[in-house]
Structure 1
Amino acid sequence: MPQLNPTPWLYILLLTWLIFLVVLPPKIMAHVFPNMPHLHHIFNFQTNNWYWPWR
């Protein structure tokens, strides 16, 4: 039964993991977001209690 022969599939598996672990992480970590979020101003908002007329 050819599906039990691990010879071709083992090399495909190892090559895939090599790509995932060696090639892709530096490319992903080198990605720079064009619009980095940052705070322009820090506001201290004043909150008031709600008035409940039925209570």
Structure 2
Amino acid sequence: MPQLNPAPWFTVFIVSWLVLLSMMPKVLKHIFNHSPLALEGKTDQKSSWIWPWS
């Protein structure tokens, strides 16, 4: 797009990145309900599969 004036597009680019970066602390503080650390204490009680042809 060389025929476009870059001045307004650069301003829109910078403002959109500033908005996204200002939202990052809120996103990073979010605690996910299904974290893998919650599963560390649990053990799986899996029974072994008996193959009829072996």
Distance 1:47 1:15, change over 3 A: same
Q: How many residues align?
A: 49
Query: How much has 1:18 moved relative to structure 2?
Result: 1.7
Structure 1 runs (4+) greater than 2 angstroms displaced = 35-41, 43-46
Whichever of the two has the greater Rg, that structure is: 1
So what's the TM-score if we normalise by structure 1? 0.56
Q: CA RMSD in A?
A: 2.6
1:15-54 to 2 correspondence within 5 Å? 15-20=15-20, 22-33=21-32, 35-37=33-35, 38-39=38-39, 41-52=42-53
Partners of 1:9 and 1:46 in 2: CA distance: 61
Percent identity between the two aligned chains: 33
- Structure 2 unmatched ranges of 5 or more: none
